[in-house]
Amino acid sequence: MDSHKSENMLSTAEYLDKLQERAPKDVLDIQTSMQFGAENKYVTVNIDAKKKEFRNGIEILHLTDVQFGHLACNVAKFIEYRDWILSESNRFVFFGGDMVDAATAISVASPYENTVEPQSQVFQFCELAMPLRHRILGSVGGNHERRSSKAFGELGRLIATVLKIPYSSGKQFVDINYGEHKPFKNSLWHGGTGSKTKGAKAQMIHRYMVQGDSQVYWVGHLHDVLMVGDVRESRDEKGGIHLEKYCGVMSSSFLEHYGTYAEVAGLPAGDTQMWRLVLEPNGKWMMTLR
């Protein structure tokens, strides 16, 4: 199953059986709600801070815009991130969308930029991501997963079905109950607009941030790295007001710059930088880049 050609060597049933044999068992109590069709918009994760592996904190890494299947996708970099997450039992993941490139004959990009057709991209990506499935707390779809919608259906749903993870094609709200975080609220969305300047990208993030009451808002899409921090007034149980920090973050991508449409369009070069949330059991938290 380590070979990307493995799906062609087995029947469909045999392939799925082999793939599921590699699926790690769930390690957390994850509950889903707000179901629309096969999608879950709301996810609640319960993590016991008294357990040895979680006593000193938990980490959640954003993995977005992998665009697996594109000729310029840095697959080795994705594997490096995957194995880093798996090296510690207190590390978890949010999938941010555009996990496959999925160019078709009727999409904006050319299928000649891809290594295999979209359906094979899904299964090959799932082979790579399957060791992570028990660490994935939430996942949303992106515009690349929607490239197949006119002819096949939205590919993000297929990825989530194979990996057996909670999924939303649009927004997803993930509450994490951990220690004094009751809960720590996250909002996931792939992102939007064709903004090119840092200011315009920051405005897109901030427009998303004012829609809800989360502490962290996660986006990708524009292959850039950015954080917008803010403070809001919040009523407390004692009849007073306290100031609450919150932020919006944009992670970049796993796509190389040179030799791609980004270079041709004159967009700035960028490296893979993913945001990481660190939750401490005492109610403190911070964001870092990896």
Instruction: Report the alpha-carbon angle 43-45-48, nearest 5.
Output: 175
Just give the CATH number of 40-224+250-289: 3.60.21.10
What are the structure tokens assigned to 187, written together? 């909002």
The contacts found for 127-130 with CB under 8 angstroms, 24 or more apart, are: 127/1, 127/2, 127/4, 127/6, 127/7, 127/19, 127/22, 128/68, 128/75, 128/78, 128/79, 128/82, 129/82, 129/99, 129/159, 129/163, 130/19, 130/22, 130/23, 130/24, 130/163
Q: How much is the pTM? A: 0.93
What is d(CA 80, CA 162) in angstroms, rounded to the nearest whole number?
22
What is the reported pLDDT for 22? 85
What is d(CA 16, CA 126) in angstroms, rounded to the nearest whole number?
11
What is the reported pLDDT for 2? 46
What is the reported pLDDT for 109? 76
| 155-209 pLDDT tens trace | 999 999 999 999 999 999 999 999 999 999 999 999 998 888 999 999 999 999 9
What is the reported pLDDT for 8? 59
List of the chain residues with pLDDT < 70 = 1-9
What is the reported pLDDT for 249? 98
Q: Kindly list the domain boundaries of the chain, sorted by start residue.
A: 40-224+250-289
